[in-house]
Structure 1
């Protein structure tokens, strides 16, 4: 990529899961001379979801904007695009993951994400799901990745989360990742 390839676009595609769909989309990106900077794929129900951060020069970004709608119709996908810029990450003390599990109870994820918002912590990544355990009880698990800003006291944050985990009846593990 040249020095003029600093333009970025976020592309999201949703459609019925089937073989070859990732290949079709990544080939389109390549044909448009864009580069995949970051991407995530998930199967939610019977739906395939793909989100990509692409970079390229102005011509490449324009090309993907104009060719994706036709390709999306051909593939039966719902797509959305938004131009963006490089992420400007603020000063942070450390990066962590939080994994928690418990009985599937409505509102748990909402309360956890509210706790993070109230502590001015931006969640970088989140994955959650539910499953049946050996006793056929619905369980939930969630993994969040986040950075703790320099102004947040890590020890106090952990103590506060410990109290929340007791209220929500979840087991958890914090891991420092950076």
Structure 2
């Protein structure tokens, strides 16, 4: 076990997008002697969003907790932090992505995510957006998920087929692991 696995913290920063913001935040992490274990960046509207999972010893985690609020204010960022522990993965039989597209209809994503919850399947990642095509507003979504060993994948796929028809979306499942 390395010193970086002792303690972990999730850090989120949101603010107006501009060049150099990622550099400023990653330099702060480095200066606090933390290691970036995982991260995601998204631009939503004109806002920059950066989520990082950091690891370090107790001193490094405390340093980032005390330094980030001031640095965030200097950079005009809204920041949040939460201590966490290493993820304990459940036993699964396969990993998949689901991509679906259709006419943008309110409630579609909610119904799809409810379907996953009702089938006891956790979503690992999700990306959705809208775009114009032939003067229509369309939606697209990509989810990554793992199928727990106790879930019947064939029944899951058949049930999703029924849901996709009711939502009028086209979809593709891809096995990724």
TM-score by length of 2: 0.98
When residues 173 and 131 of structure 1 are mapped into structure 2, their CA distance, relative to the original with a 3 A threshold, is same
Aligned residues: 177
Whole-Å separation in 2 of the counterparts to 1:131 and 1:6: 43
What is aligned with 1:145?
Answer: 144
Matches within 5 A, 1:92-107: 92-107=92-107
**Unaligned stretches of 5+ in structure 1?**
none
TM-aligned CA deviation for residue 98 of structure 1: 0.2
Check conservation: 2:11, 2:52, Cα contact below 8 A.
yes
Check conservation: 2:3, 2:56, Cα contact below 8 A.
no
Check conservation: 2:32, 2:60, Cα contact below 8 A.
yes
Whole-Å separation in 2 of the counterparts to 1:76 and 1:32: 20
Whole-Å separation in 2 of the counterparts to 1:144 and 1:97: 5
What is aligned with 1:21?
Answer: 21
1:154 aligns with 2:153: yes
TM-aligned CA deviation for residue 5 of structure 1: 4.1
1:167 aligns with 2:166: yes
Secondary structure of the corresponding residue to residue 171 of structure 1: strand
Check conservation: 1:40, 1:50, Cα contact below 8 A.
yes
Secondary structure of the corresponding residue to residue 36 of structure 1: strand
Whole-Å separation in 2 of the counterparts to 1:111 and 1:3: 42
After superposition, give the CA deviation of every residue in 1:35-60 in whole Å (9 maximum; x if it has no partner). Answer: 00000000001100000000000000
Which runs of at least 4 in structure 1 moved beyond 6 Å after TM superposition?
Answer: none
Q: Give me the CA root mean square deviation.
A: 1.0
What is aligned with 1:49?
Answer: 49
